[in-house]
Structure 1
Amino acid sequence: MENNEIKVSGLISEEAMKEYMVFHSNKTRIWYVILSVILYSSLIPIAIPDVSIIFMVVASLFMGTIVWFMVPKMYSRKGIKEYRSDQLMQQEVFYTINAEGIYQKVRRSEMLTRWEDIRSIHETKNLFLFYASKNKAIVIPQKFLLKSEMQRLRQLIKENGNSKGATYEYTEPVVRKQSEHPDGVSFTIFISEKMYIAHIHFLARKSKVLFPMWVGMLYILLALLLFKEITILIAAFAVVISIATRFLLSTVINWKAASEYRSDRRMHNDIHLEVSPAGIIQTLSNSQADFTWDNILSIHETKTAFLFFFSKNRAIILPQTYLNHEEKEKLKNIINEHARSKKVVYMDKAS
């Protein structure tokens, strides 16, 4: 099967990541537009009882247009920040693509994504995108491949891309392993859907404050442009809109996080974590990622987990439920002695 195997490598550029994020935004921005139009068309008559239908339609369409152009910009900016913060993403990636799946290697980290775990495949102007979940894709720039390799890749996709994996039922095991490193701590964990949603809410904690404020201020600005003054009623309703936006945003986050979790079969299996003075090794059934402490940008302790961020929006999750008091103290000692990040935040202390 050597002739059907493709081996390529290269550096994922910032432009490639930007193109991927803009493409990904096309799948969701229509929903943001619809929600914004519905929200404004429902709330404006309450704030301004005598408003004309024409004004309401124009105001709602105006907001929808702003959201339509704003979403790709937000995704693009998010992708660039993510790229610049993730040291591993900026390293050379080695791909091996064959009938088994897509094998990736970055430094000492390795991952195999089987064809049955790939939900959808898209070819854009400059990229091949292999979605392993609703929101995560393997990105292979076309410039990595020769024309003959692109044809072979398309043939592999045609032969294997429609395969469907079996349906699995997962339970949440509580399995413990002794550390393989004498100075480290080691666990076999399972990330539940509830834990993953809590993690996404932690990531969105700033957006949940700033975005509703921005929506309320935009409403006040629109009212000021139209009526040349801000009444108490308009100001009060701006607060109502901000609160409603906050609840709507939380609902959307819950829905998107749950959808992402359920769509990514790789997350439904046990994860083996080892935290030692050398760093963190995360082992799944199909991959192993090796992070030195230099790769960890920040560490946060929440009520439910320790989060080790290796990029702006991606973290290794260690649920608190798997740690007893002794292991928790040992983990904190390792972090305090070896973590290079200046941003280490505990529940009872920030440093």
Structure 2
Amino acid sequence: MSNNASVSAHGALSYEEFKQFQHYHLRLVGLIGSITTFVLFAPILFIMMRIIFSDILGMDLLLIEAVLAFILSLVGAVLVYLWFKLIIRYRSSSEYKSDQDIRNDVFYTFGDDGIHLNRTNSNKYYDWSDVRSIHELQEMYLLYVSKYKAIILPKRFLETDEQKQLLKQIIRRNITTQKTKWQ
């Protein structure tokens, strides 16, 4: 296989694909929020239960207080996680509807010289050194060019398995293994 081979693909990103990217990209924030909620609320609720049960009701039920604090904190963490998922859905929808570039056809060319993206009204070039990390998901590849910005390449844009394999070969030649997370 020659080193000057390239892979071309094109297509328009669907709302579901964009939503999947947003969910993957922001999943850690939701998880951290849920864990933080649990860790902060568990001791606070335990102290409140101690005050209610011992000072107000005059009972010393340590195990029940701990279990109630745990359950209420867990409920709070789950609610934060569900709220976060709702926010991602809303954010994805509004961003997808407001950004015409996301919905337009994109022509991708991946070669040893870099990545070329051609849209109706713009052309963009990324050198391989611009790519911070690459993540393979079940339905797409994400090539992060900054902490918050990624080139989204749905696998359906690549028509054959040979194209997918060639893309991986090009990436392996140009990106260190520490930057790649293959499925």
Report if TM-score (shorter chain) is over 0.5: yes
1:4 paired with 2:5, answer: yes
State the AA in 2 paired with 1:16. Answer: E
1:23 paired with 2:31, answer: no
Change beyond 3 A, Cα 1:2–1:159? closer
Q: Give the conservation status (yes or no) of the 8 Å contact 1:17–1:83.
A: yes
Change beyond 3 A, Cα 1:72–1:162? farther
State the AA in 2 paired with 1:77. Answer: Y
Quick one: distance in 2 between partners of 1:151 and 1:122? Answer: 15
Superposition pairs of residues 316-331 of structure 1, within 5 angstroms: none
Q: Give the conservation status (yes or no) of the 8 Å contact 1:37–1:60.
A: yes
Aligned to 2:83: 70
Tell me by how many angstroms 1:3 deviates. Answer: 5.2
Quick one: distance in 1 between partners of 2:128 and 2:78? Answer: 38
State the AA in 2 paired with 1:76. Answer: R
Q: Give the conservation status (yes or no) of the 8 Å contact 1:95–1:103.
A: yes
1:154 paired with 2:156, answer: no
Quick one: distance in 1 between partners of 2:166 and 2:141? Answer: 13
Structure with more helix by fraction: 2
Give the TM-score normalised by structure 1: 0.43
Give the TM-score normalised by structure 2: 0.79
Quick one: distance in 1 between partners of 2:177 and 2:66? Answer: 51
Percentage of matched positions with identical amino acids: 28
Query: For residues 209-235 of structure 1, what are the alpha-carbon distances to aligned partners after superposition, in whole Å with 9 as ceiling and x for unaligned?
Result: xxxxxxxxxxxxxxxxxxxxxxxxxxx
Aligned length: 164
Query: For residues 278-315 of structure 1, what are the alpha-carbon distances to aligned partners after superposition, in whole Å with 9 as ceiling and x for unaligned?
Result: xxxxxxxxxxxxxxxxxxxxxxxxxxxxxxxxxxxxxx
Tell me by how many angstroms 1:12 deviates. Answer: 0.8
Tell me by how many angstroms 1:153 deviates. Answer: 0.6
Question: SS at the partner of 1:50?
Answer: helix
Query: For residues 226-280 of structure 1, what are the alpha-carbon distances to aligned partners after superposition, in whole Å with 9 as ceiling and x for unaligned?
Result: xxxxxxxxxxxxxxxxxxxxxxxxxxxxxxxxxxxxxxxxxxxxxxxxxxxxxxx
Query: For residues 138-161 of structure 1, what are the alpha-carbon distances to aligned partners after superposition, in whole Å with 9 as ceiling and x for unaligned?
Result: 101111112211111111121112
Tell me by how many angstroms 1:10 deviates. Answer: 0.9
Question: SS at the partner of 1:27?
Answer: helix
Aligned to 2:62: none
State the AA in 2 paired with 1:65. Answer: V
Q: Give the conservation status (yes or no) of the 8 Å contact 1:121–1:129.
A: yes
Aligned to 2:153: 140
Gaps of 5+ in 2: 54-64, 179-183
Quick one: distance in 2 between partners of 1:30 and 1:58? Answer: 18
1:43 paired with 2:44, answer: yes
Quick one: distance in 1 between partners of 2:177 and 2:135? Answer: 16
The two structures, once aligned, show a CA RMSD in angstroms of 2.2
Aligned to 2:181: none
- The answer to which of 44-53 and 11-20 deviates more is 44-53
Gaps of 5+ in 1: 165-351
